[in-house]
Amino acid sequence: MRHVISVLVDNEPGVLSRISGLFSGRGFNIESLNVAETLDPSISRMTLVTRGNVQIVEQIIKQLNKLVNVIKVLELTGSDYVEREMALIKVTAETTSRAEVLRIVDIFRGKVVDVSPKSFTLEITGDEKKIQAVIDLLVPIGIMEIVRTGKVAITRVRKEGANASGMREKDLQKS
Amino acid sequence: MHGGKGLKKTGAEILFESLKLEGVDTIFGFPGGAVLSIYDTLLKYSEEIRHILVRHEQGAVHAADGYARSSGKVGVCLVTSGPGATNAVTGIATAYMDSVPLVVFTGQVPTMLIGNDAFQEADIVGITRPCTKHNYLVKDVKDLAAIVKQAFHLARTGRPGPILVDLPKDVMADSTEFSYPAKAKMRSYNPTYQGHPGQIRRAVKLVAQAQKPLIYAGGGVILSNASKELASLAQKFSIPVTTTLMGLGGFPGTNPLFLGMLGMHGTFQANMAITHCDVLIAVGARFDDRVTGKVETFSPRSQKIHIDIDPTSISKNVLVDIPIVGDVKNVLKAMLKFFEEEPAQDWLQARADWLKQIGEWMKTSPLTYKSGPCIKPQFVVKKINEITREITGGNFIITTEVGQNQMWTAQFFTFTQPRTLITSGGLGTMGYGFPAAIGAQVAFPDKTIIDIAGDGSFQMNIQELATAVQYKLPVKVAVLNNHCLGMVRQWQQLFCAQRYSQTLFEVAPDFVKLAEAYGAVGLRATKPEEVEPVIREALAIRQPVVMDFVVDRDECVYPMVPAGAALTEMLLV
């Protein structure tokens, strides 16, 4: 089963290597990995997508927690969260297909970010299914190149007004 | 805060000042270009810090490891960059697998050369990431004191382990004001020491109802200094105990409740008991494959309680019913307390059938070997056990190498005290025992330290004879010399239809002459009746002694559970 794990880590050189080394060394797989600084520049957030049964994912979370540079680990799968991925897609756009490409972009609320006489570069944002749907429609027209960011995810705030999850950077800064 | 304000110190001075404040009085090391200034500064601290010059960096780390395991203190090493650091890696990995508190300082090329493939440069922080608890590259002398503080804190707290600190040459020459932090500030590191009371209560209730309980104790008992608590729990509630290799000495080997070691070369009764028990209490052990055999058939009838300070050890290999994360000593204390609240019972009576069954298993297939005209290695181990106990009154430490020598020691030597057996359990590092014995002797100059070795393993760090002689460390090495790599030979005999591929040594040194060449004493026994006199003579000499016991080449370690088989599928003598 697919699991999305959000990890807050010290923003230091070598931390990414500690995490990726943990996954390769213990035979866990990474489907996608995204890292960027948080509001607090001393902390980075990693969003990891991995696959495995409950026991494996439990080990992954424990092993991540064991790393000295890992501040907090949260499994998002099973909780209420929003997930997004962006893809930049360079697609062939000949006279016959230009209109069709633009229609697809429009349907999926994408953007054209670069135009040439024979191609469009599209920006598409959404969850995995949406990105896949766009790709499936564009493949027959001709995709020249594709770049994807990997998933980023964030918990939804509970509507009753309770705290989302304790993953807030605001809280961490205090400790 | 310590140290005066306004007074600048070099990185090298800060290093030694910090070590002093950590209570370090002994380091093991080997100099080189990148650590030149550190070694120069060491001269100024020679009154306070004793440096043991080894003959190979692997020896330095194993010696620091033996020092740490025997004393419970943090072992400290200092080696140079590049090859010095890579030579230390096996020692670091050994300590990591067995949770030994070490701080290893490595030299590094100057910061501006890092990444340039400079002379004697190696990315040792990258190399050791998976085999250290944590590691550091010090990029600024201002960070040095805080990093040393953190390194010692990490090494000795939680599940202990080795920490590596990489010291670029320019950083150590640079200077700054020295102030040693009183506390290691780390927002993300916070080990759990107290077990969850609810879980502990559940565990106690389960044990109280058990018909056939069994304690399976590992190295965590020794690391957490919890032998007394373990013995109380077993004794008060009549629970039999088996230990792992790392747990030997954590429970008195003379206690009638002791079943011996379990696992691949475990005793018949231990492997039978763990297969048939109804409640298994795993204490500071990690269900290693050498212990469980085939996981699917491991202790199939039991509900399992697992006490460990490391959450990753829990339900990693074997799913458990009641996990308790916490320090073994604290959790056992809490269990004893909660047990008192249970309705009083005649526990011995309650376990009578179970203990009777175990008694029968003990008689079924006790550890044994067949005597012959040549020396049997098991006989040597038994004799060392008897004579050492008699002469030293228990004031001894045994180290082992890895392979048959290690397993025969585990089987035929009776360990009654924690920290009296020092052996490489997890990584299984040949060449470990002798330098570890040197480290233990440095920690305890008055104890008798004996490395029970094989001729293969001993040759892997034999150069440390010079270290033992130089520092007048009267370490004894008992070589069970079978002229082959005995354990691999055994596997080839049993599983490769006696095709002995590269395990029989055609050339071997004369260990007696070799010992003498180093300035140590060499003794040899070739007949069974010579064994005892050689041991007695060796123990009477206050110098390093190598005892060469020429033993039966074809002897195998039994019982043996073939790799991947169920624990009940034991090959017996």
User: B280-322, pLDDT tens digit by residue?
Assistant: 999 999 999 999 999 999 999 999 999 999 999 999 999 999 9
Measured CA to CA, the distance from residue B13 to residue A111 in angstroms comes to: 61
Residue A169 near chain B (CB below 8 Å) = no
CATH of A82-152 given 3.30.70.1150, 3.40.50.10190, 3.40.50.800, 1.10.1060.10: 3.30.70.1150
Predicted confidence band of residue B375 (pLDDT cuts 50, 70, 90): very high
A55 touching B (Cβ < 8 Å): yes
Interacting residues of A117 by C-beta distance below 8 A, sequence separation 6+: none
Q: Tell whether B395 and B348 lie within a shared domain.
A: no
Q: Would B243 be classed as within a structural domain?
A: yes
Residues B16 and B157 in one domain: yes
Asked if residue A165 has pLDDT above 80, the reply is: no
Q: Is B325 found in the same domain as B222? A: yes
Collapsing DSSP to helix, strand or coil, B419 comes out as coil
Angular region, B498: left φ>0, alpha ψ -120 to 50, beta rest: left
Q: Confidence band (pLDDT; 50, 70, 90) for B205? A: very high
The reply to whether B382 and B351 lie within a common domain is no
The per-residue pLDDT for range A29-74, each reduced to its tens digit, is 999 999 999 999 999 999 999 999 999 999 999 999 999 999 999 9
Q: Are B187 and A172 inside 8 Å of each other by CB?
A: yes
The residues with which A43 forms a beta bridge, in sequence order, are A10
* For chain A, counts of helices (H) and of strands (E): 5, 9
Bridging pattern class, strands B162-168 and B134-137: parallel
| Nearest-by-Cβ selection for A10 from B125, B137, B188 | B188
- Rounded to the nearest angstrom, the minimum Cα separation between B114 and chain A is 14
Q: What is the pLDDT of residues B236-254, one digit of tens each?
A: 999 999 999 999 999 999 9
Exposed (0-12), middle (13-18) or buried (19+): which is B468, by Cβ within 10 Å? buried
CB atoms within 10 A of CB B165: 24
- How many residues in chain B? 573
Percent of chain B with pLDDT over 90: 96
User: Any chain A CB within 8 A of the CB of B352?
Assistant: no
pLDDT grade for B87, boundaries at 50, 70 and 90 = very high
The CATH 3.30.70.260 portion of chain A extends over 2-79
**Nearest-by-CA chain B residue for A70:** B188
Would you call B362 a catalytic residue per the annotation?
no
Same domain, B546 and B456: yes
Mutating which of A9, A62, A175 best tests the B interface, going by the most B Cβ atoms within 10 A? A62
Q: Is residue B285 part of a domain?
A: yes
Query: Is the residue at B186 inside a domain?
Result: no
CA B529 – CA A125 distance, rounded (Å): 83
Query: Which chain A residues have a beta carbon less than 8 Å from that of B126?
Result: 14, 17
A139 Cβ contact list (under 8 Å, min separation 6)? none
The residue-averaged pLDDT of B362-376 equals: 94
In the DSSP assignment, the letter for residue B74 is P
Domain-located, residue B558: no
Examine the domain organization and report whether B392 and B502 are in the same domain: yes
**Is B487 noted as a catalytic residue in this protein?**
yes
Query: B272, B362, B487, B547: which is the annotated catalytic residue?
Result: B487
Integer Cα distance of B340 and B384 in angstroms: 41
User: Above pLDDT 70, what percent of chain A?
Assistant: 91
A66: contact with B, CB 8 A cutoff: yes
- Given CB atoms, is B316 within the 8 Å cutoff of chain A? yes
Q: Is the dihedral of CA B108, B109, B112, B115 positive or negative?
A: negative
Instruction: Select the residue of B130, B134, B154 nearest A25 (Cβ to Cβ).
Output: B130
Asked whether the beta carbons of A34 and A83 are under 8 A apart, the reply is no
The answer to whether position B369 is within a domain reads no
Q: What are the backbone dihedrals phi and psi of residue B549, each rounded to the nearest 5 degrees, phi first?
A: -95, 110
B47 catalytic? Reply is: no
Domain boundary among B363, B395, B428: B363
| DSSP letter (8 states) at residue B195 | P
Give the angle subtended at the CA of B312 by the CAs of B308 and B317, to the nearest 5°: 90
**Strand-pair category, B303-308 with B279-283:** parallel
Q: Are residues B231 and B173 in the same domain?
A: no
Please report, for the domain that includes residue B170, its CATH number.
3.40.50.970
Q: A23: nearest CA in chain B?
A: B130
User: How much is the pLDDT for B3?
Assistant: 47
What distance in Å separates residue B134's CA from the closest CA in chain A?
Answer: 7
Q: Is the pLDDT of residue B553 over 50?
A: yes
Residue B105 annotated in active site: no
* Distance between CA atoms of residues A87 and A131, nearest Å: 7
- For residue A175, pLDDT over 80 is answered with no
* Average pLDDT, integer, range A6-32: 94
Domain-terminating residue out of B363, B398, B422: B363
Rounded to the nearest 5 degrees, what angle is found at the Cα of B451, between the Cα atoms of B446 and B457? 150
Is B1 among the domain residues?
no
The CATH fold of domain A2-79: Alpha-Beta Plaits (3.30.70)
Kindly tell me if the per-residue pLDDT of B482 is higher than 90: yes
What's chain B's average pLDDT?
A: 96
Distance CA A118, CA B171 (A): 56
- pLDDT at position B573: 81
Please tell me if residue A18 touches chain B, with a CB cutoff of 8 Å: yes
B186 touching chain A per CB within 8 A: yes
Which of B125, B126, B189 lies closest to A68 in CB terms?
B189
State chain A's mean pLDDT as an integer: 90
pLDDT digit string (tens) for B419-454? 999 999 999 999 999 999 999 999 999 999 999 999
How many domains is chain B partitioned into structurally?
A: 3
Are B232 and B296 contained in the same domain?
Answer: yes
Query: Could you tell me what percent of chain B has a pLDDT over 70?
Result: 99
- The verdict on A53 touching B (C-beta cutoff 8 Å) is no
Domain assignment present for residue B573? The answer is no
Q: At B250, is the secondary structure helix, strand, or coil? A: coil
> How many pairs of residues across A and B have Cβ atoms under 8 Å apart?
40
Cβ contacts of B512 within 8 Å, gap of 6 or more? B522, B523, B524, B546, B548
Examine the domain organization and report whether B286 and B315 are in the same domain: yes
Among B residues 199-228, those touching chain A with beta carbons less than 8 Å apart = none
What residues in B contact A22, CB-CB < 8 Å?
130
Going by pLDDT thresholds of 50, 70 and 90, the confidence category of residue A174 is very low
Q: What is the pLDDT of residue A38?
A: 96
In a domain, B148, yes or no: yes
Q: Where are the alpha helices (DSSP H) in B100-176?
A: 124-128, 141-156, 169-173
Phi, psi of B55, rounded to the nearest 5 degrees: -115, 0
CA nearest A9 in B: which residue?
Answer: B188
Residues of A within 8 A of B137 (CB-CB) are: 14
Q: A163: number of CA atoms within 13 Å, CB side?
A: 7
Are residue B393 and residue B357 in the same domain, yes or no?
no
CATH number of the domain bearing residue B221: 3.40.50.1220
Q: Do B158 and B58 share a structural domain?
A: yes
What average pLDDT does this structure show over B209-229? 97
**What would the DSSP string read from start to end of A42-111?**
TEEEEEEEEE--HHHHHHHHHHHHHSTTEEEEEE-TTS-EEEEEEEEEEEE--TTTHHHHHHHHHHTT-E
Instruction: Look at A14 and B129 and tell me if their CB atoms are within 8 Å.
Output: yes
Task: Give the sheet arrangement for strand B303-308, strand by strand.
Answer: B258-261, B241-243, B213-217, B279-283, B303-308, B322-325
Last residue of a domain, one of B323, B338, B363: B363
Nearest neighbour of B130 by CB, restricted to A14, A21, A72 = A21
Catalytic residue among B169, B304, B333, B376: B169
Give the mean pLDDT of B384-404.
Answer: 97
Is the same domain home to B355 and B382?
no
Q: Is the pTM of this model over 0.90?
A: yes
Residues with Cβ within 8 Å of residue B362, at least 6 apart in sequence: B259, B268, B269
ipTM of the complex, rounded to two decimals: 0.90
pLDDT surpasses 50 at A173? no
Interatomic CA distance for residues B369 and B397, integer angstroms: 25
Which range of residues forms the domain containing residue B331? 197-363
Among the listed residues B57, B121, B464, B555, the single catalytic one is B57
Whole-number pLDDT of residue B342: 87
